[in-house]
A and B are shown apart, each in its own frame.
Chain A
């Protein structure tokens, strides 16, 4: 930092001496770059495109109130990897905005610090959201929005919310027979499966991914995939597959599931708050209810995802970052603005209460996530997605559940133990 001005002078001097008049314009970029404010007194925030735009006015306000410069930078893709790599090189931000299931990986890479919230602050947050950002007994982020799957249905076609998945299948069967729809259920599977969207049914059928240790954290040593319960669960899922009732199909992909629903080819969609914008655009009459489980099974537990603010360990201005994250992000105004940028239920109770009056969907989504489980934030979760999804796709395509899930369990535990 302190070297920058000298660099500018030297660059200009040498370049000018070397090239005379002709070199003038060549040196311009160099001197311009070093003329940028290089003081320590700057807070740099990284977020994805949508949230950057929503954050900007608040960041500027925070800066103006406190006499500091706050910069918001949009990171369009691979935010987590970009953040970890940049942090390691010392070119990362002071504050990072991202999903809570990054926490395990960010902690093992020493990229984020725990945050200290006062009891009043923690009591103002949705308990599920707070639980999601707690890792190894420490709070690692300040949550601002939540999301989980729910069953979205076209009320013109299906006025009643089905209580069980069997009821849903028979209801959709009637609609199919009447040629009103062509698909039973729009639940994205794709060629290689989708563990996130299958999890409510998997948990309802009795399966789990990890056991929990005494303090309620996920225990990576206690892998649930490949256990007898998971085989039983997949046997139930197979009855919904292509060789069964056909409710789950590999041809319903992440790309076409919402479009198929808005195109009225299916009456039921399993998706999250992000689907609502499209559904509204299609001018469908819709309602939101919890994802139904199997008849006589356990409740269907969707994963709870939480969007959160983190304090970067290797940020240059940590004190200011902590101030921003713990004392400013916890104000309702910011949470409401972020809700308006993308309609997901705010984690801050005060903000939630403020927006629920104008958006009835929020409470329905929260109700659908009542039985939900926080998406595991442990780094080992990364080993689950791919093999689990493929096993799901294979079983839905008609493969033997026992053989498939045992193999998936083997692959996952081999990846975890490495």
Chain B
């Protein structure tokens, strides 16, 4: 029962394959399906562990659907579409949705976990040693089986050498010689198995509680702050000061506005978006940055395209000898890791020690002035980017039949007119989508700026926004340069950038439609 044979009218376009290759198809298909199921089962267990039932349902439905789809001979078009669609959902749509959902929260440093985790962190951080108390030698023991029996702390006073046994009811002194009887001391290995229990174990004392510090020492500590459910607040046990939970900001806030550092993640509605629009530190230099951002993307894309195309045309001519050699040479910058190259270029622009100033005997403070810094980053992009354009333009040129330009020449067209009216339009059909994607890439070319100028030069009165800052580097600084990372805000900004790039790309793609009319 091979899929292709019973496939209905759709597959009739191609001749039905012979039996052996059908069996080969089976041999490939079944292991692949088995692998899919195996991956799904592997992914299911963390979902069950975390009780993520919706995720599990989606996983089961998807896997079931896939197995069904490929084990029946029907739905041929869907067989082609399904893998791409699933990958699209997984790697494109899901990250976008996740970013969007993060943009509505205050997720970031100090607001990463749940409120419960924040309370635990606050209480744990407030446990201090009771002043004047002893450090005790500790042995962890049990009255029953080492793996499951009830735990006790055997505590030795460092001064009196008195051994006491402690459990949840408190501390009891053990008369001399009685230590060994009835208790099994846990080895490190055994104690390690019950780590969580030991950490949580506290022997109440009049001053606080005796807790373990590791497996061999214990101390008498007291929690300085405790959570009170009645007022939904944290109370300082000595001063009585309270910090009340504020679900709007995800933090415990005192009356005087002081916040405890350990907060939790809450939904903050549109406030990240309104901050992008209203915060003068963000919106103030926004327009200027946007204009330069467009300038950078256009210059990088356009410059590399023009240079790449010129070189491709020069090497397209039959009269050039050693074309292969030149082509290999020209593609070299593309073969080098751009990260390393960006750093090398940054050092070459150094005022005193850089190769460029040394070579020309000049003393230009390249990254010190707006114009020179902008020129420098565009030059670097030109060098890094032209081999790509050269490659694609060479490919596209070779695909254009030579008869066309020959015909135009015979008809009396000048070489320039032939290029303008025949070669270029045909080239653009193939290259415009690449130019648009190159534009979108350069619009968000974080590395090009961050690894060279880092946005410099900065005006003396505003260290937040430099002359070569792109939107992406500028907003990265705002979201991560302050007191800790602020992922919620960063996500909101990236949605704005996404919208800008999406609009530009949509307009460009719409405009390319008329290019396709060249063909018809």
Contact = CB atoms under 8 A, between A and B. Distances in A.
Specify the main secondary structure of chain A where it touches its partner.
Answer: helix
Interface stretch (A123-131, A334-342, A355-363, A379-387): A379-387
Contacts of B350: 251, 253, 256
Given A138-B125, A191-B367, A416 B112 contact: no
Contacts of B37: 14-15, 18
A180 B187 CA distance: 66
B127 interface: yes
A411 B279 CA distance: 12
B368 interface: yes
B484 A382 contact: yes
A192 interface: yes
A110 B212 contact: no
B193 interface: yes
B41 A319 contact: no
B113 A313 contact: no
Interface stretch (B215-223, B311-319, B324-332): B215-223
Nearest to B191: A319
Contacts of B455: 192
A171 B462 CA distance: 36
A260 B353 CA distance: 10
A318 B352 CA distance: 53
A191 B454 contact: yes
A107 B193 contact: no
B219 A249 contact: no
B137 to A, nearest CB: 10
B20 to A, nearest CB: 16
Contacts of A4: 45
A114 B213 CA distance: 10
B208 interface: no
Interface in B265-293: 281
A116 B199 CA distance: 13
Contacts of A322: 199, 212-215
A201 to B, nearest CB: 19
Contacts of B213: 115-116, 322, 326
Interface in A391-405: 391, 393-395, 397, 399-400, 403-404
Interface string A357-382: 00000000000000000000001101
Contact of B261 (A313, A320, A379, A395): A379
Interface in B76-104: none
Contact of A415 (B41, B125, B354, B482): B482
B217 A387 contact: no
Interface stretch (A19-27, A154-162, A286-294): A19-27
Nearest to A34: B42
A278 B189 CA distance: 44
Interface string B246-262: 00000000000000011
A84 B109 contact: yes
A390 B117 CA distance: 37
B191 A320 contact: yes
A162 B253 CA distance: 51
B110 A379 contact: yes
A35 interface: no
A81 B461 CA distance: 31
B124 A319 contact: no
B31 A418 contact: no
B508 interface: no
Contacts of B262: 107-110
Interface string B480-491: 011111100000
Given A191-B456, A323-B215, 5 more contacts: A19-B33, A68-B189, A319-B198, A382-B482, A387-B464
18 contacts: A14-B37, A19-B30, A66-B189, A67-B187, A68-B188, A113-B125, A116-B221, A251-B353, A260-B353, A317-B192, A318-B195, A319-B199, A320-B215, A382-B483, A390-B463, A393-B456, A415-B481, A416-B483
Interface of A: 3-4, 7, 10-11, 14-15, 18-20, 22-23, 26-27, 30, 39-43, 66-68, 81, 84, 88, 104-105, 107-110, 113-116, 118-119, 136-138, 183, 191-192, 249-253, 255-256, 260, 313, 316-320, 322-327, 379-380, 382-383, 386-387, 390-391, 393-395, 397, 399-400, 403-404, 407-408, 411, 414-416, 418
